[in-house]
């Protein structure tokens, strides 16, 4: 090749190389511009997935984990630290909002998170003593525990305690449904015998021929809620002697015990001690029941009658027929009879007319409504009672108050209390106040009669010759 040819060839390759370089540079420039353009139009705030709802324990530590956020594209993304705005109060249950603010080159985005402050803590079960007693049937006799909750406080009384296979289970839930369970190994044991309590007196005296109703006994046991009592022994009420009634009980662990009541049957003593039972305000719905009880014990009483319940008026005849004294209390039992002597006498005579119609004779005995010492009459006529006493005396009437009150006029509605009130003050020539219109008081009469007979009393009806019982008239001011 000539020198000229070689020179031309070098110039050609030099030109071609420069051309390729320019093209390459242009491509690089284009790509750079393209990358910058794409970066601009694809750059944005990007975040990883995060918990949009977070639960925090009541009064616990608040540890907020902010979402990871960057600004850029998939090729390059710059991490951004947030500004956190939060008003979460861990000392107060509720829902709160937390904002995470991310800023980059005058661009801003906000991500929010719901924070729920709730009770997440389980109650704490504290065994205060190792001294634990459990019955074989699972009944807890001794267990000293304390259960506290971070929100509910002391919830010891909410514990559910059970026993199975020698394990004591203590389970408790707080109001937020957080549950705690504690298991304790316990060896059950029961060495205590049942305790028997005899109903009534341990020693009883009854009169020969009277009915004896044993009151039984009751048993309690440290482990068994229900325990049966076996009763052995019998009282022959028709033969004088001493009898024993034995009560025995065995619990489910085999522990047994017994108790004995002594019943003495004695001959009836006929003495000179007399009790006058009196019944006011009837006859009424319980008078028939009372009459039958009185017949059973051959007891006689006095009825101070009224006409408050006209449909029972025929019982007045029955009272007299059975040997009781029919006396007058009042026709109406209204306080306006104390307005004047005339009012009182009219009421008295009207009631006596009914007594005469029912019994065939008039009564000479009466009782003041409220008793002669009542203070109610003062608001009607300040001298009424004194004037009535004089007026009725001239007509041949005799009045009786009482010296023993059963308490059935307002003090009590208990049959047992009526019985106790009467026997507490029972004495010779006692005049007892009761009301046969009150069922609870009538139901106490049989026990009163039995007590009196067993203690040598005779029950008689009042007559005009009976020992007088007067209160003393209240003087009005």
1: pLDDT strictly greater than 60? no
Residues 357 and 393 placed together within one structural domain of the fold: yes
Rounded to two decimals, what is the model's pTM?
Answer: 0.54
What is the residue range of 101's domain? 45-118
First to last CA, the chain: 169
Q: In terms of domains, do 107 and 156 share one?
A: no
Mean pLDDT value of segment 93-110: 93
Whether residue 84 is contained in a domain is answered as: yes
Domain assignment of residue 412, yes or no:
yes
Q: Do 287 and 180 share a structural domain?
A: no
Nearest to 303 by CA among 336, 326, 281, 286: 326
In a domain, 2, yes or no: no
CA distance 303 to 365: 10
Task: State yes or no: pLDDT of 253 exceeds 80.
Answer: yes
Distance CA(230)–CA(361), nearest Å, equals 56
Q: What's the CATH number where 247 sits?
A: 2.60.40.10
pLDDT at 31 over 70: no
**What was the pLDDT predicted at 309?**
96
- Same structural domain for residues 247 and 179? no
Section 198-219 average pLDDT = 86
Is there a domain that residue 164 lies in? yes
Q: 90 and 137 share a domain? A: no
Q: Give 229-250 pLDDT, tens digit per residue.
A: 999 999 998 999 999 999 999 9
pLDDT top residue among 14 and 136: 136
Backbone angles phi, psi at 438, to 5 degrees: -120, 110
My answer on whether 157 and 254 are in the same domain is: no
Q: What is the pLDDT of residue 81?
A: 94
450 and 419 part of one domain: yes
- Co-location of 173 and 215 in the same domain: no
* Residue 470 token pair: 């007067």
195, pLDDT greater than 70? yes
Token pair 């861990």: residue: 90
| Position 23 in a domain | no
Number of structural domains in the chain: 4
Same structural domain, 134 and 112: no
Q: Tens digit of pLDDT for each residue in 381-394?
A: 999 999 999 999 99
Give mean pLDDT, residues 7-33: 67
Q: Are residues 344 and 446 in the same domain?
A: yes
pLDDT category of residue 322 using cuts at 50, 70 and 90: very high
Does residue 190 belong to any structural domain of this protein? no
High-pLDDT (> 90) share of the chain, %: 67
Tell me, what's the pLDDT at 355? 98
Query: What number is the average pLDDT over the span 449-475?
Result: 92
DSSP state of 121: P
User: Whole-angstrom Cα distance, residue 433 to residue 365?
Assistant: 15
3 state SS of 101 = strand
Mean pLDDT of 154-160: 92
């Amino acid at each position: 090749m000539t020198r000229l040819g070689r020179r031309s060839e070098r110039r050609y390759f030099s030109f071609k190389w420069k051309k390729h370089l320019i093209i390459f540079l242009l491509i690089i420039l284009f790509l750079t511009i393209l990358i910058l353009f794409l970066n601009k139009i694809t750059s944005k705030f990007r975040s990883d997935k995060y918990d949009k709802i977070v639960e925090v324990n009541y009064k616990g530590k608040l540890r907020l984990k902010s979402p990871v956020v960057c600004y850029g594209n998939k090729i390059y993304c710059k991490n951004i630290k947030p500004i956190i705005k939060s008003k979460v109060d861990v000392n107060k249950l509720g829902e709160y909002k937390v904002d995470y603010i991310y800023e980059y080159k005058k661009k801003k985005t906000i991500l929010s998170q719901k924070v729920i402050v709730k009770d997440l803590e389980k109650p704490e079960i504290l065994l205060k003593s190792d001294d634990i007693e459990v019955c074989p049937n699972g009944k807890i006799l001794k267990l000293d525990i304390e259960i506290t909750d971070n929100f509910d406080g002391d919830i010891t009384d909410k514990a559910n305690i059970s026993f199975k296979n020698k394990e004591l289970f203590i389970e408790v839930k707080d109001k937020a449904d957080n549950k705690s369970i504690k298991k304790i190994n316990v060896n059950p044991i029961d060495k205590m015998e049942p305790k028997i309590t005899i109903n009534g007196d341990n020693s009883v005296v009854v009169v020969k021929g009277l009915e004896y109703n044993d009151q039984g006994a009751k048993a309690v046991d440290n482990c068994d809620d229900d325990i049966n009592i076996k009763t052995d022994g019998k009282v022959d009420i028709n033969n004088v002697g001493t009898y024993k009634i034995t009560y025995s009980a065995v619990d489910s662990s085999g522990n047994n015990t017994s108790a004995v009541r002594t019943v003495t049957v004695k001959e009836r003593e006929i003495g000179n001690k007399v009790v006058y039972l009196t019944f006011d305000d009837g006859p009424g719905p319980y008078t028939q029941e009372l009459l039958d009880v009185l017949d059973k014990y051959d007891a006689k009483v006095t009825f101070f009658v009224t006409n408050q319940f006209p449909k029972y008026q025929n019982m007045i005849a029955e009272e007299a027929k059975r040997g009781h004294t029919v006396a007058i209390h009042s026709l109406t039992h209204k306080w306006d009879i104390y307005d004047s002597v005339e009012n009182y006498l009219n009421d008295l005579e009207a009631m006596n007319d009914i007594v005469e119609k029912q019994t065939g004779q008039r009564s000479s005995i009466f009782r003041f409504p409220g008793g002669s010492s009542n203070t109610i009459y003062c608001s009607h006529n300040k001298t009424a009672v004194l004037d009535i006493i004089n007026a009725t005396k001239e007509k041949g009437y005799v009045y009786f108050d009482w010296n023993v009150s059963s308490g059935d006029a307002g003090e009590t509605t208990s049959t047992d209390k009526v019985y106790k009130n009467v026997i507490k003050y029972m004495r010779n020539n006692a005049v007892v106040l009761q009301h046969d219109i009150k069922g609870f008081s009538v139901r106490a009469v049989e026990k009163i009669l039995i007590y009196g007979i067993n203690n040598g009393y005779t029950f008689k009806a009042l007559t005009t010759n009976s020992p007088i019982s007067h209160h003393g008239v209240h003087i009005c001011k």
